[in-house]
Amino acid sequence: MTAVEINFDGLIGPTHNYAGLSEGNLASAKNRDTVARPRDAALEGIAKMRRLMAMGVPQGLLPPLERLPMAFLRTLGFSGDDRAVWEAVWKSEERLARNALAASAMWAANAATVSPGADTADGRIHLSTANLSTMLHRALEGEGTTRALARIFARDDTFAVHDPLPLQSTFSDEGAANHMRLCADHGSQGVEIFVYGRAGEETRTGFPARQTLEACRAIARRHGLDPARTVFARQSTAAIEAGAFHNDVVAVADCRTMFFHEQAFEDKAAMLAEITAKARGLFEPVFVEVPAADVPLADAITSYLFNSQLVTVPGGDRQVLIAPREAEENARSGAFIEKMLSGNGPIGRVDFVDVRESMKNGGGPACLRLRVAATAAERAMITSGFLLDDALASRIEDWVRAHYRETLAPGDLADPALLDETRVALDALTRVLPLGPDFYAFQRA
């Protein structure tokens, strides 16, 4: 069956800011308390979506979530009307407020893990919303993300949207950022690769490992994946300690090709052998390994070379890597790219995109998108209005220009006007995207 991959990008929300919330994410720590530019951030994201669309890669959208989430704060004992809750939390628990304000749902690679119908027992596309249980600000995303996915993938004869796994350390799950799929083409059976950083019961020192083996296994079971075509591989401690808080900071895959750093995995040889064995009879995997001698882990992580979108474009005979501009600017990554392009490997072109606002929080091009491989018939079942075209992109850009602040400095965040502004913005968005008048909690209140 022929299928294409659709990238659903997270639309960057109006409260985008730098709060230094993610331990182990070096960019988030480094840029803590710097001034954010929400309008530019959102427009950069849309410009990236336009680039992909222009290449013939279909593009979808996931909406931003409501911030601050009032129900969560009320559970913690804040009371009164929403404005009183907002003021009280900023006054008494600023760190909590900053967690609750994060626009981190923009990183759609962490929204869910997706298995295409070619791999699942019931032939449906399965999407498991991530619980993101390691970081407080991210653990607040699951409910809203499930709601969004249920709107977009509403047809349960075609899609199965699963709730997040139990919100507990044993099942820490960060979605597609720790999941890769290799295949002959997107419509054929593939080998799904789940990358975990620790076993559930394990306690580690150092930076957190955000994905557990138990979470990976549970998702594979729910999705009805065949164990004969599923691989569980451990991320290397060296990569986590160097700042690879998700596997997609050191590896990316598309069709037969896996592009990865030499030190990405704990037992690389065993993993590659298992992938090759499980792919036998289906396709021949192509491994593009980047030696640490060419690009040390530190450069891979500051440049985000691997946090690129590796795509197969219609009519193209070699794959294209959509890399962050920072990868070109980094001497080691830039030199590796030149060397790679002068060879005749599977990646024949590298395009650079500016997503600097997202990058300053540790989110490159690959973090901003959730991939859904779908046949034409499955694609037709996606709720209409969530797939982007030029006209919709222009409407969203107008919406951003009308509603987003140019800058958000740490001192601006507690401003109660921000609560009203974001609500007006999100309410308007529910008329640009077919989210309906009750998508956000404030609309239902």
* Residues tagged active-site: 174, 246, 367
Contacting residue, 46, 102, 118, 370, with ligand SUG by CB under 6 A: 102
Q: Interface with ligand SUG includes 21 (CB under 6 A)?
A: yes
Q: Are 48 and 355 in contact (CB under 8 A)?
A: yes
Non-local CB neighbours of 396 within 8 Å, separated by 6+ positions: 11, 46, 61, 388, 432
Task: Return the bridge partners of 288, or none.
Answer: 259
The CA distance from 239 to 423, in Å, is 39
The CA distance from 445 to 443, in Å, is 6
Q: Interface with ligand SUG includes 244 (CB under 6 A)?
A: no
Q: Are 323 and 367 in contact (CB under 8 A)?
A: no
Q: Interface with ligand SUG includes 367 (CB under 6 A)?
A: yes
Chain residues 374-413 in contact with ligand SUG, contact rule CB under 6 A: none
Q: Which of these segments, 18-26, 116-124, 308-316, 415-423, binds ligand SUG (CB under 6 A)?
A: 18-26
Q: Interface with ligand SUG includes 177 (CB under 6 A)?
A: yes
Chain residues 343-362 in contact with ligand SUG, contact rule CB under 6 A: 361-362
Question: Min. distance of Cβ 361 from ligand SUG in angstroms?
Answer: 4
Question: Min. distance of Cβ 102 from ligand SUG in angstroms?
Answer: 5
Q: Are 280 and 177 in contact (CB under 8 A)?
A: no
Question: Min. distance of Cβ 24 from ligand SUG in angstroms?
Answer: 8
Question: Min. distance of Cβ 180 from ligand SUG in angstroms?
Answer: 12
* Residue spans of beta strands (DSSP E) within 41-187: 59-62, 112-115, 125-129, 159-162, 179-183
Task: Return the bridge partners of 322, or none.
Answer: 309, 351
Contacting residue, 104, 113, 131, 172, with ligand SUG by CB under 6 A: 104
Q: Which residue, 110 or 230, is less far from ligand SUG as judged by CB?
A: 110
What's the token pair of residue 304?
Answer: 């985000």
User: Which helix H or strand E contains 238, and what residues bound it?
Assistant: helix 237-242
Question: Min. distance of Cβ 310 from ligand SUG in angstroms?
Answer: 14
Chain residues 118-147 in contact with ligand SUG, contact rule CB under 6 A: 138
Q: Interface with ligand SUG includes 112 (CB under 6 A)?
A: no
Report the number of secondary-structure helices (H) and strands (E) in the chain.
Answer: 18, 15
List interacting residues with ligand SUG (CB under 6 A). 18-22, 25, 28, 102, 104, 107, 109-110, 138, 177, 245-246, 248-249, 361-363, 367
